[in-house]
Every structure is written in structure tokens, then in C-alpha cells.
Structure 1
Amino acid sequence: MQKRTIVTISIIAGVLLLGGTAAVAGPIVYRDLIVGEQEAAPTVTAAPRATDGASGAIDASDLSGEWTATDGSYAGYRVDEVLNDTDVTVVGRTDDVTGTFTVDGLTLTAAEITVDVASIETDSSSRDAYFRDMALRTGEHPTATFTLTGPVTAASTPAIGEVQSVTATGELTIAGVTREVTVDLEAVLNEGSGQVAGSIPITFADFGVEAPNLGFVSVEPEGFVEFSLVIAPA
């Protein structure tokens, strides 16, 4: 993982250092040349099936068991700055993500995702330092977590390479504060692995974080936590 997230304010330090440049160069130059184009919101990628004439259909019982997040997974946030009425989107990401999932046929019965928030990076190391030290106080709260609180059942048995959409409810913990959230997910089963991607809309104040406003630049009060998880049987 639109307005953005976990990191609300990681932004202020970068603003302090880049603010002078932005004021001189102008908000559009700041957006287009200094911040630049940001990565798109995460979506799943359906790998091509082997062309052996098979339908790609699977037995739901084959999905049962423990799954885990593997290499290629990432998580982070997306947030909008507003500089003199010009929207500037900032994305921070880390691949330091772990996740465990329990599946019973077509139903996800348990899941927990943990993100090392101190390792989230944007295009500005100064912004990142503020995020770690001031916004989320990662010395006290080094991780953010999402824990599933209710089962999620697929509408039909998935086929290899077929993207499905589901909605999950769980508890999101950021900076030591836990809130119930709902997240829309995309999921796909590929050969030997799967992928789950989604974004969770949040309001910074709900997690005890105040979006900064420096007059010439401010951060929107809402954002998104984003994630893309490559999963495989444990």
C-alpha cells in the first residue's frame, strides 16, 4: 500500500530541508523533479500458466495448511503532501516484512503480518529520519502489525493465474495504538506460490499521530498502508 499512511509525517524533515528549494523552484518543480514519479499502488501479478492444456483448476484441500511471506514481499505507506495547492504524493516502502497465514480449504482462518517500520524508505533520508525518530518513535515501537480477526472465504475455488478480490477485517497496530480496520485484497495463486496485495486507509490521528502543517506545505490527515506479499507453503 489515494492518500497515505503509516508514516504520516515522516515527511516533515524532508520538508524542512527541501522547503527552501521548493519555495524557490516552485511546487510543480518540487513535485516533478525533486520528488519525482512515485511507484504505483500494489497489485497482484498473475504468472502465465504452463501451456499443457490444463485448466489451472485446483483442489481446495490442496490449499489447506500454513503459508508464509517470502522474498519479493514489501509494505509501506502512501501519503499526500500539499505544497501551495499542489498535491505531491510520497511513497515509502520496505522489504523487511514477515507474515504467517493459516488456510482451511477456501478459508483464511488466521493471519499476522509484521513490518519493520524503521526500515521504510522514501526518496529523502531526512524525511525518513523524522519518520523513525519523531513520528512513530520506532525506538519504542519498531514494528507495525496487522492481525486478522475474522475468517475470509473465497467465493469460488481459485484457478492458477486467476485474480480474486476479497475483504478482510483485522487489527492494525501502529506506534503502539491498535485499531480495527477493513482492507480490500487482491489474491492470485501462481505455480508454487501466491500473491496478496492491498491497501488500508487510515487517519493519522486515530493512531496518535498529527499530520504536520508548516503553512507552505502540509500533509493530508488520511493516508494508506500498502503491502504486496508473495506467499508460499511453510
Structure 2
Amino acid sequence: MKIISMIPARYAASRFPGKLMQDLGGKSVILRTYEATLATKLFDDVYVVTDSTIIFNEIVTHGGKALMSKREHECGSDRIAEAVEDMDIDIVINVQGDEPFTEKESLGKLIDVFKNDVDREVDLASLMVRIIDVEEIKDPNTVKVIVDQNNFALYFSRSVIPYSRDASAEVKYYKHKGVYAFRKEAILDFYRLPMLALEASEKIECIRYLEYGKRIKMVETSVQGVEIDTPEDLERAKKLWK
């Protein structure tokens, strides 16, 4: 089974433009993420795939591997699909470029999903972490996920799901961490299928898989880390890095 990691990287992020080139402990955020992914030693290859010559040059000048996208893309999954279309691989793991605290344990769990999936029931796997902070649960920037008894995703939303109508019910809330592991054929299907209404409304790309009947296995992790979406996140990351 050939397994690679792709790190999609846009320079012009809507909420924090240029965030991937911000300094984090003497290196850029994207370089930190690339090096952390490489350091896990879980992959046959690791690439950054980008639409930006700035990011491309940042990686290759530091000895890394980077690919330039040939077309404009709406989301990271589309960018990765274009890059892997002609590659001889089985599994590709999408590590977000703003995740400099990427670590081996969580990624290893995603890989194990496919190693143990002898009946090929899983199209893709992703990470979730339990959250208890009320403000984070309410925050539309925090994507929540609900799962069935076997931890297959039922739905993702920026809204509060599940809605706790009965305060006595023991409800757990899970944050979706934007790290995906795909079978190659699943991500190519995603690339070829048009966006539908729910994905367009929520602006959550993995909803497309659910709308087309794909199965997403969610893996719980206790590693929270810091996703750098805002300048405030960057300051938290700097403190954590120290």
C-alpha cells in the first residue's frame, strides 16, 4: 500500500491572507507543517501543492518537495486530486497547511483505518477531537461532526450539532480537524462531482462526500493543537511553540 501526504497551501486565505508565510519560531508556518509531516516517517512521499510561487519557493529552497497547481481550485481536496491523478498511489492524506503541530499518533490512526478495512467499506477517514468549551461549540469557525455507533460521519456543520433540547441528555460535541485520508479513487470522484446545496451552504468540503453517499470513518484523537486561521491563533501557536 503506497501512502503519501499532500499539504494544500493557498497564499490568499480569506480570513488571514498570507498566514502560511507568517513566522513561527524562526520558520514559516507552511515550512513548520511540512517538516512536522515529514518527521512522522509515515509516508512514502510528502508534497506541498500550491497556487503560490511564494509558497512553492519557500518549500523547495529548504529542500522540500512542492507542486504547482495547474488550475484554479475551490478547495484543498480539488487541489490534491489534480496533483495525484496520474500518481501510482493507494492512499493520500491531506494535512492542512496551517497545522504546524501535526503529529505521528493521529496520522498513524488514520492509516490504520485503511490497513484494517479488509472489506473496503471506508472511502475516507478523518480526525475529530472532543470539545467542551461552550464558546468553541457555538463558534461557526469550529466545524462540528456527529457520528453513528461505528464512528461513521452522519453530518458536519458550523452550527451547534447536536442541538441539546433536553439538558439532561448526555451529549458529546466533537470538532472536526481538517485532516483527511482518502482512497485515491474517492478523492478523484470528489474532484469530478459537482458541489451540491449543503456543501455550498456550509462551505465544508467533506459534506460533498456525504451528499454522494461516500462513507467517512471518523477517528477520535485527544491532540488539539492549533489551527492557524486568525492572527489570534498565530499568537497562541507562538506561545505553544515556546
For this structure pair, what is the TM-score category when the shorter chain's length is used for normalisation?
under 0.3
TM-score, length basis structure 2: 0.24
In our comparison, the structure showing a higher alpha carbon Rg is 1
Q: Structure 1-normalised TM-score?
A: 0.24
Query: RCO (CA 8 Å, sep 6+): is it higher in 1 or 2?
Result: 1
Q: Which structure features the higher share of helix residues?
A: 2
Larger strand percent: 1
